[in-house]
Amino acid sequence: MTEHAVVIAGGGPTGMMLGAELALAKVDVAIVERRAGHELAASRSRGLLSRTIEVLDQRGVADRFLSEGQVVQVWGEFAGVQMGISDFPTRHNYVLALLQNHIERILAGWVDELPVTIYRGREVTGFAQDDTGVDVGLSDGESLRAEYLVGCDGGRSLIRKAAGIEFPGWDPSTSSLIAEVEMDGEPELGIRRDDEGIHALGPLDDGRVGVVVREEQLGLTGEPTLRDLSRLLVAVRGTDYGLRSATSISRFTDMSRQAASYREGRVLLAGDAAHVHTPMGGQGLGTGVQDAVNLGWKLAQVVKRTSPESLLDTYHAERHPVGARVVKTTMALTALAREDARIDALRDVIGDLLSIDDARKRVAARLSGLDIHYDLGAGHPLLGRRMPDLDLVTADGPLRVYTLLHDARPVLLNLGELGGFDITPWADRVQMIDATYTGRWELPVLGEVTAPTAVLIRPDGYVAWVGDLGHAELPDALMTWFGPPSGDPEEVRQ
């Protein structure tokens, strides 16, 4: 039996991101992926939203994606109103158009540079957990032993089902085909609505056409064919535009479900294994990647006995509300996509509201992930929110905040007087940086906030504490998130 500290079931974007996070923390991690390679038959996601790009920037790899994608300033819509964030206080105030097969290829290239073991062409077939770990069975008969198992194995997650975690939600009300095709004719690009939902044709980066078209009935289980796609296009557009081949055809519905718990003992869930919803709004891939970044450093600290196992409870506490909000937002988008007199009236009312700039910013921030706020208690508006990527001045020269997070280590950023706190007891885990910043402190939706004297930044880029270095709460915050000081005679309670 081969042993690893953590085994991840599923090597899609969520699984790869989690593997990278654990490897950066020097944790022995393995990914079990059923595909022999990272190639995708279909490009399900078509881009990266702002907060996800920021997360990749925090790890120093955003440029790899930016060099291949296309920046889109105005993207999608909500109730017929185009959503844009070009006026938001972030370096990445846009959407990056990039097909998922390219996203996965670039992620895989990064993961290959890190000490991550990957078992390809195999699946997890079952597991049994006990007080000290999890025995994981693979489809080739091999067994793995891990302290923790994380299910990143998609909406039909075997890990979630075998762990007995409930998956409540709503059954589908619509079903659609999504395809990447070649056509001889000149298709009429764009989105159309009818009383059943939307159908759309859009250009892909290699001359092919992306197609989304609704099906007439629910519950079909067979693999959709080129003939099915042609018939549906003729039904809604009057022609199939000379459809001649498809590189991919798959089905999706608006089924919306979320795991009741993201953890059962030594088994955790992330990505689509924890939440499924319609792809409308484009939030699925990014939500999974951000699940991974929230979980990775916490799981690493527990595995390394730096923090007690109770730290893992904050993963569910923080990410479950985010997932629930994504599910509700996509349900609203599905409802607003239909076309009848009542929905038209509702869309008009919401459209009028979104013409108010503050309302538009609030919805756009929600869709882009820039307004995520973890409830870490009362205090400065920064507490529990993403740290802005400020241009700092240090003794060694100019430095961006996100550069400090490339190694996935927490940062105590001192922007006041030098001295005042001895970081030595936590220096093996937390880097302390003295710097100055003279610009505005501005947050999405909230606007300008008071400049803090010091902030404690978690590895996922969220602010864990704001205050003065002399405050008594700082050691408590360091202990809460990053374990007791070195040399503390009291062992970490597991």
User: pLDDT, tens digit, for every residue of 127-141?
Assistant: 999 999 999 999 999
Helical packing angle, 13-24 and 100-112, nearest 10°: 20
The per-residue pLDDT for range 53-105, each reduced to its tens digit, is 999 999 999 999 999 999 988 766 787 788 889 999 999 999 998 988 899 99
Between 82 and 155, the higher pLDDT residue: 155
Q: Is the pLDDT of residue 492 over 70?
A: no
Higher pLDDT pick, 3 / 488: 3
Rounded average pLDDT over 155-172: 96
pLDDT top residue among 36 and 478: 478
Residue type, 338: R
Which residues are CB-contacts of 477 (< 8 A; sequence separation ≥ 6)? 456, 464, 465
* pLDDT grade for 490, boundaries at 50, 70 and 90: low
Asked if pLDDT for residue 440 goes beyond 60, the answer is yes
**Side chain identity at 124, as an amino acid letter?**
V
User: Nearest CA to 11 among 33, 35, 38?
Assistant: 33
Predicted pLDDT of residue 40: 63
For residue range 418-434, what is the model confidence (pLDDT) as tens digits? 888 999 999 999 999 99
**3-state secondary structure at position 465:** strand
Q: Residue 196 has what pLDDT? A: 64
Place of tokens 């993207």: 75
**Which residues on neighbouring strands pair with residue 397, listed in sequence order?**
394
The pLDDT mean for the chain works out to 92
pLDDT score for 292: 98
Q: Which residue has the tokens 């240090």?
A: 394
Task: Please give the average per-residue pLDDT across 185-197, as a whole number.
Answer: 79
* Integer angstrom CA distances of residue 396 from 229, 400, 414: 60, 12, 15
Half-sphere CA count of 222, side-chain side, radius 13 A: 6
User: Helix (H, G, I), strand (E, B), or coil: what is residue 137?
Assistant: strand
Residue 281 scores a pLDDT above 90: no
Closest Cα partner for 170 from 344, 335, 393?
335
| Mean pLDDT of the 104-115 span | 96
Question: What pLDDT does 489 receive?
Answer: 47
Residue 319 has φ and ψ, to the nearest 5°, of -90, -25
Please determine, for residue 485, whether its predicted confidence score (pLDDT) is greater than 90.
yes
Identify the pLDDT of residue 42: 56
Angle between helix 284-303 and helix 13-24 axes, rounded to 10 deg? 30
Q: Which residue has the higher pLDDT, 329 or 46?
A: 329
Q: Would the pLDDT of 384 be above 90? A: yes
d(CA 429, CA 56): 21
Burial class (CB in 10 A: 0-12, 13-18, 19+), 200: middle
- 439 forms beta bridges with none
Dist CA 429 CA 299 (whole Å): 14
80 or 112, higher pLDDT:
112
Arithmetic mean of pLDDT, 318-337 = 93
What pLDDT does 200 receive?
A: 87
121 pLDDT above the threshold of 60: yes
pLDDT at residue 335, rounded to an integer:
85
Rounded CA gap, 156 and 137, in Å? Answer: 18
